[in-house]
Amino acid sequence: MGKIALIFPGQGSQKVGMGQDICENSETAKQIFEEADAALGYALSELCFHGPEEELRLTANTQPAILTTSIALYIALREKLPLTPDFVAGHSLGEYSALVAAGAMSFRDAVTTVRKRGIYMEEAVPAGVGAMSAIMNLERDKLDEVCRSVSKAGHVVEPANYNSPGQIVISGHAAAVAEAGEQAAEAGARRVIPLSVSGPFHSSLMQPAAERLKAALSHVTVRDASVPVVANVTAEAVSGSAEIVELLVKQVASPVLWEDSVRYMLNQGVTTFVEVGAGSVLTGLVRKVDRKVKAISIQDTQTLEQAIEQLQTLS
């Protein structure tokens, strides 16, 4: 039997109504949302279930909302199927969900930390100064070269997310991102899609946020992970607490090596990826890396039941 990886989504997967169904059908999932509300001091559950969407989309709300939904679904899964994955991984913010699943961080610490992380990221760069764009179907080395050629002091653009073959996100100063997008199109990119985000995430412009996060993490208990966590920064497994903290700090201003992370897990013998959380973005990205691999998405009670059926046939 092949190995199983649990993967957790990041920002962009949020939608009004997320988590409500699982809370209505699982007491333990409901308790996770109640714990988030208590830890944060405001009704995150209400925001997830009923919106308004523009409030939910704010980075400082989105990050704890996605984490809480993921962990509520994860707890509901564990309750019905005591599954120990071979690896866990998460896309950007999703790395915190992975760390909770791996026992490296308590849920309460994770949800308060990502709330702070969201605030730090929003405040790192003034609104309108930064931007991000998705570049479709341009080879990685060509796009890396475009970014290098466009970047100069005060006009920075860098690869931010290596998501899958044919999808790389760039990030930096708005004018530099626009210029790199034009050059990428000239170099053969099929499409350039400006993203609706509040800042130039995973670029060096986020360094002020990384420094503030480092200070915040110094007050958080991080333990060694019980399951290998594939880190965004290195696309390799990590389990030691000191290295986990170091990589979480670096991650804020470094590119997310998601395609590389998926390939690493495939090379380690993973044959089933289970995405736990709102949406199915990562399921789609995994399939773009390897169409033959089994990729399952758990978003609510119905998809949870379907996933358990599929996972039971593997054991």
Shortest CA distance to 94 belongs to which of 203, 168, 6? 6
Whether 91 sits among the annotated catalytic residues: the reply is: no
Instruction: State the catalytic residue, choosing from 13, 91, 133, 202.
Output: 202
Residues 200, 133: Cα–Cα separation, whole Å: 10
End-to-end Cα separation, the chain, in angstroms: 7
Q: Dump the DSSP string for the chain.
A: --EEEEEE--TT---TTTTHHHHHH-HHHHHHHHHHHHHHTS-HHHHHHH--HHHHTSHHHHHHHHHHHHHHHHHHHHHHS----SEEEESTTHHHHHHHHTTSS-HHHHHHHHHHHHHHHHHHS-TTTEEEEEEES--HHHHHHHHHHH-BTTB-EEEEEEEETTEEEEEEEHHHHHHHHHHHHHTT-SEEEE---SS-TTSGGGHHHHHHHHHHHTTS--PPPSS-EE-TTTSSEE--HHHHHHHHHHHTTS-B-HHHHHHHHHHTTEEEEEEESSSSHHHHHHHHH-TTSEEEEE-SHHHHHHHHHHHHHH-
Instruction: Tell me which of 70, 92, 133, 203 is the catalytic residue.
Output: 92
The answer to whether 202 is a known catalytic residue is yes
Distance between CA atoms of residues 143 and 189, nearest Å:
9
Catalytic residues: 92, 202
